[in-house]
Amino acid sequence: MDQTLEAPVGLAPDALARMYHLMLVTTLADKKSAAEAKAGRLQAAFYPVRGMEAVCAALGEVLRPEDRLISTYRNLGDALAKRVPLRSIMAELYGRTEGTSKGKGGPMHLQDQSVGFTATTGIVGAGLPIAVGLAMAAQMDGGGSATVVTFGDGATSIGAYHEAMNFAALWRLPVVFVCQNNQWGEHTKITDYAPSPELAQRAAAYTIPTERVDGFDPMACLRALQTAMERVRRDEGPTFLEFVHYRLTGHTGTADYSYVPKHELEAALERDPAPTFRRWLIDNSLLPEERIAEIEKQAEEYVEDAFAYARSCAFPPPEALYTDVFADDSWVRSLSDE
């Protein structure tokens, strides 16, 4: 794995600025959401994404509007990468009517069909067969678009993962598997549940091209994702990418994290994606410091605005209880008439 950031070849300053902005918004919104969860102000648990910012920023560069992204409960950065407005994300986490699912989905079901953020599932590993089905539909429609699915290291031990990999390989489906290896499955360390911590081997067994990538390095993440997306767009089948990083916080925004080995966490925090990227941009004169300051101001304002907006939105009224729950809810309504 590449441990040092390499200067990008032909990457426009705009792309670097966008990536830094997305990483920063993700970090700031994550910290604020965790604090709100601790204060009991969110409507459900919050699943921090700290440590995943580099992968999310790279996803933001490769995904096109027509592509679909399937995510997990740990989805803040993924949603931002697919251009779901932070206002709608936060309104959903606060359980308000202006949320992506009118406040009824919460973090486990964050989705925005209008931008191709197609589904989130709280069932570990369940996103993979959904992505494979969507990729198959895209293939039958003539191809060209990509389906990307993100999931944790723990998901690679789930049966649905293996069924999805087998099917995707056999049908050469246009899907990119993005494994966010943060080295923990809830409170269990990867070395305590996987005979080999190199999860890419599990995909290679299905003849799927794989790559292990330094998930703290935004440029390495970008290169790997670009290659995988090009393969999909050329109709050359699936790719499995294992992004190795580290969970920088507890499993949820309120969870205890004292069980993590101190030296491991300290080493991981040294590589905290947004500040590391910032230093690298300055040291390599890739963005002027004034531009960096401007991005930081914009990111802070964007986050502040989204939280204030979300808190100002109304909760769903009681009569909304049955709307959008059933495709045809007339039978439920008829019960109340009896």
Q: What minimum distance in Å lies between the beta carbon of 124 and ligand TPP?
A: 4
Binding to ligand TPP, residues 226-255 (CB under 6 A): none
**Binding segment toward ligand TPP, per CB under 6 A, in 1-9, 85-93, 151-159, 263-271:** 151-159
Q: List the alpha helices (DSSP H) in 253-329.
A: 262-269, 273-283, 289-312
Q: Which helix (H) or strand (E) holds 162?
A: helix 159-170
Binds 117: which of ligand TPP, Mg ion, none (CB < 5-8 Å by kind): none
**153 forms part of the interface with Mg ion (CB under 5 A):** yes
Say if residues 51 and 247 touch (Cβ distance below 8 Å).
yes
Say which entry of ligand TPP, Mg ion, none residue 71 contacts (CB below 5 to 8 A, set by partner kind).
none
Q: How far is the CB of 254 from ligand TPP (least distance, A)?
A: 14
Should residue 155 be labelled a site residue for ligand TPP when binding is judged by CB under 6 A? yes
How, if at all, do strands 175-181 and 239-244 pair? parallel
Least separation in angstroms between residue 199's CB and ligand TPP is: 10
- Is there binding between residue 182 and ligand TPP (CB under 6 A)? yes
Pick 146 or 179: Cβ nearer ligand TPP: 179
Q: Does 153 bind ligand TPP (CB under 6 A)?
A: yes
- Per-residue binding string, Mg ion, 239-258, x by CB under 5 A, is --------------------
Nearest distance, CB of residue 336 and ligand TPP, angstroms: 33
- Which residue, 116 or 125, is less far from ligand TPP as judged by CB? 125
How far is the C-alpha of 34 from the C-alpha of 40, rounded, in Å? 10
**Per CB under 6 A, does 186 bind ligand TPP?**
yes
d(CA 211, CA 213): 6
- Alpha-carbon gap, residue 251 to 233, rounded angstroms: 35
**123 sits near ligand TPP (criterion: CB under 6 A):** yes
- Among 26, 111, 182, 276, the residue binding Mg ion under the rule CB under 5 A is 182
Q: Give the C-alpha separation, 13 to 249, whole Å.
A: 31
Degrees (nearest 5) of the Cα angle 73, 76, 79?
100
Q: For residues 23 and 203, give the distance between their C-alpha atoms in angstroms, rounded to a whole number.
A: 28
Task: Report the b/e string of 63-87 with b at 16+ CB within 10 A.
Answer: beeebbbbbbbbbbbbbbbbebbbb
Pairing of strands 175-181, 147-152: parallel
Q: Can residue 124 be called a binding residue for ligand TPP (CB under 6 A)? A: yes
Question: Across the strands, what pairs with 242?
Answer: 179, 212
Q: Does 154 contact ligand TPP by CB under 6 A?
A: yes
Does residue 60 bind ligand TPP (CB under 6 A)? no
Residue nearest to ligand TPP (CB): 152
> CA triplet 248, 253, 254: central angle to 5 degrees?
115
Q: Which is nearer to Mg ion, 229 or 248 (CB)?
A: 248
Q: Which of 95, 99, 105, 152 binds ligand TPP (CB under 6 A)?
A: 152
Q: Residue 145: how many CB atoms within 10 A of its CB?
A: 19
**How far apart are CB 296 and ligand TPP at their closest, in Å?**
27
152 in contact with Mg ion (CB under 5 A): yes
Dihedrals φ, ψ of 175, to 5°?
A: -135, 140
Give the total residue count for the chain.
338
* Strand pairing report for 175-181 and 188-189: unpaired
237 binds Mg ion (CB under 5 A): no
Q: Which residues bind to Mg ion, rule: CB under 5 A?
A: 152-153, 182, 184
Q: Which residues bind to ligand TPP, rule: CB under 6 A?
A: 74, 122-124, 152-155, 180, 182, 184-186
